[in-house]
Amino acid sequence: MTDFREIFLNVQKPGRYIGGEINSVKKPFLEDTVKIALAYPDMYEIGMSYLGLKIVYHLVNEMDEALCERVFMPGRDMAEELAKRNMKLFSLESRRALSEFDIVGFSLAYELTYTNVLSMLDMGGIEVRSENRAEDAPLVIAGGTCSYNPEPMSAFIDAFLIGDAEELFPKFITEYRSLRAKGAARKEILAELACLEGVYVPSLYGTGDNAPGDLTPRPVHPGVPEVIRPARVKDLETAFYPVKQIVPSVKIVHDRIAAEIMRGCPNRCRFCQAGAVNRPVRIRSHKRIREICSETYRATGLESIALLSLSSVNYPYLADVVRGLNSDLEGKGVGISIPSLRVDEKFYELPEVISVIRKAGLTFAPESANAEVMKAIGKDMDPEVLARAARLAFEKGWRSVKLYFMVGFPVDVEDEEKDIADLARRVSSLRGSRPRDAAEVRVSVNPFIPKPHTDFQRHGMKSRAQLIEKKRKMLSFSGKKIKISFHDVNQSILEGALTRGDRGVSEVIFTAWKKGAVMDGWSEFFNYGVWEEAFKSEGRDIEQLSGRCFEPDAGLPWGHIDCGFHSASSDNVSAHEDR
Whole-model pTM? 0.94
Inside any domain, residue 259? yes
Whether residues 281 and 165 fall in one domain: no
Residues 106 and 43 both lie in one domain: yes
* Calpha distance 50→525 (Å, rounded): 22
Instruction: Tell me if 68 sits within 8 A of 38, measured CB to CB.
Output: yes
Would 157 be classed as within a structural domain?
A: yes
- Is residue 226 one of the residues assigned to a domain? no
With contact defined as beta carbons under 8 Å apart, do 365 and 339 qualify?
no
What's the one-letter identity of residue 437? D
> Per-residue DSSP letters for 350-383?
-HHHHHHS-TT-EEEEEE-S-HHHHHHHT----H
**Residue 160 CA neighbour count, 13 Å, CB half:** 29
Contact 505, 498 (CB under 8 A): yes
Let me know whether 345 and 323 are in one domain.
no
Burial grade of 87 (CB within 10 A; 0-12, 13-18, 19 or more): middle
Does residue 392 share a domain with residue 370? yes
577: in domain: no
439 and 492 together in one domain: yes
H/E run at residue 5: helix 4-9
**Would you say residue 179 lies in a domain?**
yes
Cα–Cα distance, 236 to 263 (Å, whole number):
8
Contact 175, 513 (CB under 8 A): no
* Distances 465 to 113, 444, 472, 477 between C-alpha atoms, Å: 25, 20, 11, 19
- Which amino acid type is present at position 83? A
Q: Which domain holds residue 493?
A: 337-572
Domain shared by 206 and 324, yes or no: no
Q: What CA–CA distance (Å, rounded) separates 93 from 539? A: 43
Q: What is the pLDDT of residue 364?
A: 85
Measure CA of the first residue to CA of the last residue in the chain; give whole Å.
65
Last residue of a domain, one of 312, 336, 360: 336
CATH of the domain at 283: 3.30.750.210
Q: Which of 519, 49, 113, 71 is nearest to 250 (CA)?
A: 49
| Domain assignment present for 412 | yes
73 with 149, same domain? yes
Whichever domain contains 67, its CATH number is 3.40.50.2300
Round to whole Å and give the CA distance between 41 and 203. 23
Q: Nearest Cα to 125, choosing from 112, 136, 114?
A: 136
Type of residue numbered 85: R
CA distance 218 to 85: 44
Judgement on whether residues 505 and 559 belong to the same structural domain of the protein:
yes
- Crossing angle for the helix pair 383-395 and 416-429, nearest 10 degrees? 30
| Residue 229 placed within a domain | no
Same domain for 473 and 420: yes
Are 99 and 137 spatial neighbours (Cβ–Cβ below 8 Å)? yes
Amino acid symbol at 201 = V
Q: Which residues of the chain have pLDDT under 70?
A: 1, 340-361, 565-579
Contact 88, 97 (CB under 8 A): yes
Of 196, 205, 202, 33, which is closest to residue 103 (Cα–Cα)? 33
SS (H, E, C) 64-114: CCEEEEEEECCCHHHHHHHHHCCCCCECCCCCCEHHHCCEEEEECCCHHHH
Number of domains in the chain: 3
Buried b (16+ CB within 10 A) or exposed e, 161-198: bbbbbbbbbbbbbebbbebeeeeeebeebbbbbbebeb
Cross-strand partners of 400: 440
- On whether residue 180 sits in a domain, the answer given is yes
Both 172 and 264 in a single domain?
Answer: no
Decide which of 336, 363, 395 is a domain's last residue. 336
Q: Are residues 279 and 175 in the same domain?
A: no
Examine the domain organization and report whether 300 and 341 are in the same domain.
no
Tell me which residue of 383, 515, 528, 518 sits closest to 467, measured CA to CA: 528
Which of 185, 219, 253 delimits the end of a domain? 219
Q: What is the DSSP letter of 463?
A: P
